[in-house]
Amino acid sequence: HFLGEINSTRSRFDLAGVTFWGESPVFISQESTRLVLSLVRIHTPTHVIRLGGSYVLAAESLESVL
């Protein structure tokens, strides 16, 4: 479980079975970040999302590419 916001720059994450809790956005990329997700959940006050797949983020949040 991750609580709060994650910021990354030029990183690669391979996450499985992870739950993000917090305010939206929960994951922000400052510069080119690749996310490979499997059975990932995002819980915010306004959304509950289940994710899987591969995402490439520029300077944006994960929620902005969904």
Q: How many domains does the chain have?
A: 1
Q: Which residue has the tokens 């030029």?
A: 10
State pLDDT tens for residues 4-36.
999 999 999 999 999 999 999 999 999 999 999
Does residue 51 sit within a domain?
Answer: yes
What residues make up the domain containing 31? 2-59
Supply angle C-alpha 2, 12, 56, rounded to 5: 100
Q: What does the mean pLDDT of the chain come to? A: 95
User: What's the sign of the alpha-carbon dihedral 1, 52, 47, 60?
Assistant: positive
Q: Is residue 65 part of a domain?
A: no
Residue 54 has pLDDT above 90, yes or no: yes
DSSP-derived letter for residue 25 is P
Q: 12 lies in a domain? A: yes
What band does 66 get if pLDDT is binned at 50, 70 and 90?
Answer: confident
